[in-house]
Amino acid sequence: MTPMPRRLVAALASSAAALTLAACGTTEVADPATGSGSDDGGAAAAISESCAADSTATSTDPVTLTDGVGRTVELEKPARKVAVLEWQQTEDLLSLCVPPVAVADVEGFTTWDTAETLPEGTTDVGTRGEPNLDALAGADPDLIIVEVSSADEEVIAQLETLGVPVLATVGADAADPVGHMKELFTLIGDATGRSERADVVLGEFDEHVAAAKEEVASADLPTTDFVYFDGWVDGGTVSIRPFGKGALFSALGEELGLTAAWTGETDPQYGLGQTDIEGLTTVGEANLFYTGTDDPAGDYVAELEKNELYAKLPAVTENRAHAFPTGIWTFGGPRSAEQAIDAYVDAIAG
């Protein structure tokens, strides 16, 4: 089954479906070849490709910030030994050239989020939904990043028993998915003293979007309407998860000049719907893009292609249904978003 953020899993189940920085000190960035800097706690090296050429500074000043659910988090100095319990935030750390000391579900991250590469030997602290507190404590973090939907979630109090600051984050906002993705990245950059690096990465993202938009504009498309979807097979039945206007990948398509065409009901945080193969017939002439998968639990794409209704969709008959490469995390940070943009361009103008 195509995975999803832990918070979205919980939401679907239940519904049945300032920042301020003091002064301005800096130190050298951690060496991406060794993971060493002025205070890296012995962490392994981040292997972000762009970190090899990174020359941005790392702040050493105390940090006071407001997290995603309105809690005030104070750090005597920026976090350098970070444990992280969700994949988007794991990717963000690596893009900031901050190798995490511990991550939830290392194997899952490695499979589903290829925008960044975890250093070998990164401590695995169990599942995203039920992290192992003993393993977390053993990693000796100076900050734990968790994804929640409200400040009163039990997991925050559980993590605080470890005596480590907890940064509670919200994974998505359907009202402004791209803006939220950027804000979350900036928040983690501030918490780790890597705000200068965050600005560079976000600047590169904006440049990536602008260049891709020009390529899409020059393509000869019969329609700009599109639907992105993923899915899974359960008991021989294919379930389709269309991405509505509030979904990150829909918003990325619209940044390129496309028009998100799914009008069915979606959840208020991630902008995702649920339907079956027949439901796809409601999108008319829209171009189709979908998550490619080699999921051993069931290839929903193979099942789709056997279905007569799907085979007769205009996008399918006109070769306008395109699989994205595997390993692009649909709930990721700026680097995953760049992968998605490249996939749109390759499908449309390649």
The closest alpha carbon to 28, from 80, 70, 65, 66, belongs to: 80
**Residue 42 pLDDT greater than 60, yes or no:** no
In this prediction the pTM is 0.88
Q: How far apart are CA 219 and CA 232, in angstroms?
A: 31
Q: Would you tell me which CATH number, out of the four given (3.40.50.1980, 3.40.630.10, 3.40.50.970, 3.65.10.10), belongs to the domain 6-207?
A: 3.40.50.1980
Q: What is the mean pLDDT of residues 124-144?
A: 97
pLDDT band at residue 2, thresholds of 50, 70 and 90?
Answer: low
The answer, yes or no, to whether residue 6 has pLDDT greater than 70, is no
Give the pLDDT confidence score for residue 47 in this predicted structure. Answer: 54
Least confident interval from 21-25, 53-57, 167-171? 21-25
Asked if 103 and 66 count as a contact pair (C-beta separation under 8 A), the reply is: no
Assess if CATH 3.40.47.10 describes domain 218-349.
no
pLDDT at 261: 98
Q: How is the chain split into domains, by residue range?
A: 6-207, 218-349
Average pLDDT over residues 277-301: 89
Segment among 13-27, 43-57, 303-317, 323-337 with least mean pLDDT: 13-27
The reply to whether 6-207 and 218-349 are identical in fold is yes
Q: How far is CA 324 from the centre of its chain?
A: 16
> Is it the case that residue 315 has pLDDT exceeding 80?
yes
- Position 33 scores a pLDDT of 35
- The Cα 49–Cα 32 span in angstroms is 9
Query: Cα Rg for the chain, rounded, in angstroms?
Result: 20
Average pLDDT over residues 323-338: 98
Residue 15 has pLDDT above 70, yes or no: no
Residue 41, by phi and psi: left (phi above 0), alpha (psi -120 to 50) or beta?
Answer: left
Confidence of residue 236 (pLDDT cuts 50, 70, 90): confident
Confidence grade of residue 299 (pLDDT, cut at 50, 70, 90): confident
Per-residue pLDDT band for 296 (boundaries 50, 70, 90) equals low
The whole-chain average pLDDT of the chain stands at 89
The pLDDT score that the predictor gives to residue 235 is: 86
Tell me: the pLDDT tens digits for 150-207? 999 999 999 999 999 999 999 999 999 999 999 999 999 999 999 999 999 999 999 9
Identify which of 98, 99, 72, 100 has the alpha carbon closest to the alpha carbon of residue 84: 100
Indicate the SS3 state at residue 47: coil
90-105: per-residue pLDDT in tens? 999 999 999 999 999 9
Average pLDDT over residues 75-85: 98
